Amino acid sequence: MNTTDPIADYLTRLRNAIRARHKRLDVPASNLKRELSRILLEEKFISGYTDIPDKKQGLLRITLRSSDGVNAITGLKRISRPGLRVYVPARELPRVLNGLGIAIVSTSMGVMTEKSCAHKKVGGEVLCQVW
């Protein structure tokens, strides 16, 4: 399936799985989606992810984190999109819900949270916000 915005597709699949109360979901794999999943795992929004090889690009199996039926992720928002890219310098990085959520930023040093960007004093493209 050819999609013009694979990050939005990833976030939509994640959002739909959360709303349907699924325990896990499969998404087509890519390096950027692996990095997004790694950050979500480090920030404890998901329980884990694994690569599932197939004859094409492979799949990422993401295990969602929930306790008592309440998911760790309550909201996802795509910020920079193909029609309107959003770049910010290090001093203008967004705060999500006064620090309760995270913004994921693609920088020249790799994909990282806004807190890591502020610590390293590097800006970049704001991909999405998670809370």
Q: In b/e form, how buried is each residue of 37-71, taking b as 16+ CB within 10 angstroms?
A: bebbbebebbeebeeeeeeeeebbebebbbeeeeb
Question: Would you say 86 and 93 are in contact if contact means Cβ atoms under 8 Å apart?
Answer: no
State the Cα–Cα distance between residues 48 and 39, nearest whole angstrom.
11
User: Looking at the domain 6-71, which fold is it?
Assistant: Ribosomal Protein S8; Chain: A, domain 1 (3.30.1370)
Q: pTM of the predicted model, to two decimals? A: 0.93
Answer CATH for 76-130 from 3.20.190.10, 1.10.540.10, 3.40.50.300, 3.30.1490.10: 3.30.1490.10
Residue 6 token pair: 């694979």
Cα angle for residues 51, 2, 30 (degrees, 5° grid): 25
Q: Give the tens place of pLDDT for each residue, 21-66.
A: 999 999 999 999 999 999 999 999 999 999 999 989 999 999 999 9
Q: Give the tens place of pLDDT for each residue, 57-71.
A: 999 999 999 988 889
State the Cα–Cα distance between residues 40 and 113, nearest whole angstrom.
10
